[in-house]
Amino acid sequence: MIKPFLRFFSLLACFLFIVNYCQSQDLLRNYDLTSVKVDKLSDADIVKLKQQLDAAGISEQQAEQIAISKGMPVTEVQKLRARLQQLSTTTPTQPNNPNNLNNQNNQNIDTSIKQYNNEIDTIQRRPIINPRIFGSELFNNTSLNFQPTIPVATPLNYIIGPGDQLNINVFGVQETTIPITVSPEGNIIIPNVGQLQVAGLTIENATQKISNLMGRTAYPTIRSGTSRLSINVGQIKSISITVIGSNKPGNYTVPSLATTFNALFIAGGPSEFGSFRNIELIRDNKIFKTIDLYSFLTRGDGSDNITLQNNDVIRIPSYKTRVIIDGYVKRPGIFEMQPGETLQDLLTYCSGFTDSAYTSSVKIVQFTGKDLSVKDVAASAFANYVMQGGDSVIVSKVLDRYTNRISLTGAVFREGIYELTNGMTLSDLIAKADGLREDAFMQRGQIFRLKNDLTKEIISFNPSDTIQEKSILLKREDSVVIASIFDLKDQYYVSVLGEIRNPGYYDYRDSLTLKDVILQAGGFTDAAFPERIEVARLIKRDTLTAQDVRASMIIEVRGMDDLSTPEKNISLQPSDLISIRRKPGYLAFQTITVSGELQYPGPYVLDKREERVSDLIKRAGGFTPEADIEGAYITRYNL
């Protein structure tokens, strides 16, 4: 609250600055209000002060308490309170100033829709209509309120009634603006003109009637045509209406520009069993209009959204026929049908079938009065089948099967699904696939075919013969497979181990040699001993004997240090394992780390294989004076 209080004093000090410059300097500096004189403040100053207090969120009571605490006399506080209250009840206007008149009209309009807005505020607490009922979104969605558009240009067919404020505007040679309120008896009194009955007239008729009267009396220029007259409604009157059969039946006070849709919305829409299609607008105890909300929902036709009049009654009767449609339609739900409407009309209301719907026929479950029955309605009868109360329409999905599909996979250039045409043969299909690939196995292909009982059979053919012959006719759902020669072979590898840069497995290819694999593996490491390489090879035999105890065939290759020459090279076979040995005298560096109280701690490389701790300590410069020789230890990691 501190910031709003400070803001108040700053504003008040600014106004007093206008009244008394010297005093304002003290107020701005000390916030001292003991010398304030409210009588010296103009009406414009009070208006501006009130506006800024409202913007700061400070009430008049809070402002009075703060003013007293800063030394403002109680008598001046009372005067300020009276000035502010007078400002709230009266607004200074100049009748002939259009800007002041517009401001007054806007204030009157705000007052006229206050009761309507109060009704809108309670919509959150109304019952929710079953969302499956078509049209429920109009009343369940709080972002739709159908609030009357106010202010608007006064419609020419607006019917004048008691309480309306008319603004009579004369312009031309004679100019004036006369605001007049229609009396409870329906009359208006125009100064220097006389009394006139206008209640029940439209704006257009009242304009003509008032123009004739004023032209014959105090405003002859209207009759001569040198001045003209226009009338608009400044303050919209409120009217009383009644809504029955809704979720919130009752009497409502709404602006006179409210329409039937406005009234239905604030009343919560039709009740659980209420009709959306036969809503009655009763005027003067007669049905004036029957409202069908489906016209608005399906076509956007707002012709039923007519302006209400005082004492209108909106009656929502119970529905007569409701049906349900579910399945593959765009808007499944509950729909209300008029007498004589057909299944085709229902499909229009639900926006039609989805793309995957089975449209040749639909199933309808009906109540017979005793039990249920099912009826199949073909597409040709949609426009003739008249919907009955309680009908439940079920729209199925199309079958997950093809009427003309065949497939081709394997060693062809274009695998995939193809259209089966009349008389299509196997050679036609291969031609559509741009022919066989070079790796096609030409001795045998297969056709997997569904028999009449949906069991599968296999038909074998020779792809090389099929290219010339056209004797094999294809059928629906045939699946043709042409194998590749690579599909019929094992995938072979050779492996390289030992002192090679990239040990591992390598694909076997025809004519692969030992030097080829060594090159693919990145060549020998520095520790390799190419003078002696072993190649282990699988033994292929038909039987095992007690005399033959071999596990593999070992081939020793010597003098492989030059990979650029073809000499001393052998051809490899699938699954060969190549072992590259390490040089006998090759030793990698071995390092240790010395830390603690030594002259030169750090990493050291072993000088000889049998180097001792004492040798290493001597290389490290010996112990420091602070060294605890008895507490020395060695940490060794097992790799």
How far is the C-alpha of 538 from the C-alpha of 574, rounded, in Å? Answer: 9
Estimate to the nearest angstrom the gap between the alpha carbon of 415 and the chain centroid. Answer: 39
Contacts of residue 379, defined as CB under 8 A and 6 or more positions apart, other chains included, come to: 359, 360, 361
Helix, strand, or coil (residue 587): coil
Q: Is 528 exposed, middle or buried (0-12, 13-18, 19+ CB in 10 A)?
A: buried
Q: Give Cα 208 to chain centroid, integer Å.
A: 54
Statement: residue 413 has pLDDT above 90: yes
Other residues' Cβ atoms within 10 Å of the Cβ of residue 262: 24
The residue assigned the tokens 């009906």 is: 366
Which residues contact residue 636 at a Cβ distance below 8 angstroms, ignoring those fewer than 6 apart? none
The 10s digit of each residue's pLDDT in 111-151 is 444 544 555 444 444 567 888 999 998 888 766 655 555 45
pLDDT greater at residue 296 or residue 257: 296
pTM summary value: 0.55
According to CATH, the topology of domain 405-488 is: Outer membrane lipoprotein wza fold like (3.10.560)
pLDDT at 315: 97
Judge whether 291 and 279 are in contact, CB under 8 Å: yes
Q: Which CATH topology does 322-395 take?
A: Outer membrane lipoprotein wza fold like (3.10.560)
Classify 394 as helix, strand or coil.
strand
Name the DSSP letter for residue 160. Answer: P
Same fold? 405-488, 493-542+551-582: yes
- DSSP string across 22-51: HHHHHHHHH---TT--GGGS-HHHHHHHHH
CA distance 388 to 377: 14
Cα Rg for the chain, rounded, in angstroms?
51
Q: Which of 516, 502, 497 is nearest to 560 (CA)?
A: 516
Range of lowest pLDDT (139-148, 160-169, 316-325, 535-544): 139-148
pLDDT in tens, 172-216: 888 898 888 888 888 999 988 889 998 888 888 888 999 998 988
pLDDT digits (tens, 9 = 90+) for 577-612: 999 988 888 888 888 999 999 999 999 998 888 888
Please list, in sequence order, all residues whose beta carbon lies within 8 angstroms of the beta carbon of residue 441, skipping any fewer than 6 positions away: 411, 463, 482, 483, 484, 485, 487, 488
Residue 67's nearest CA partner among 112, 1, 8 is: 8
pLDDT attached to residue 44: 74
pLDDT value at position 317? 96
Residue 465 identity: D
Give me the percent of the chain exceeding a pLDDT of 90.
39
CATH number of 493-542+551-582: 3.10.560.10
- Beta-bridged to residue 406, according to DSSP, are 418
Distance CA 498, CA 526 (A): 12
Higher pLDDT, 206 or 13: 206
| 130 and 268 Cβ atoms separated by less than 8 Å | no
- DSSP summary character for residue 34: T
| SS3 assignment, position 351 | coil
- Reported confidence tier of residue 354, pLDDT bands at 50, 70, 90: very high
Task: Delimit the domains of the chain by residue range.
Answer: 2-89, 322-395, 405-488, 493-542+551-582, 591-631
Q: Phi and psi of 154, rounded to 5°?
A: -65, 120
Structure tokens at 505: 């497995």
Pair of tokens at residue 179? 């605001």
Q: Is the pLDDT of residue 99 over 50?
A: no
Q: What pLDDT is attached to residue 338?
A: 95
Query: Contact 154/203 with Cβ under 8 angstroms?
Result: yes
The two three-digit tokens of residue 310, written as one number: 């005082």
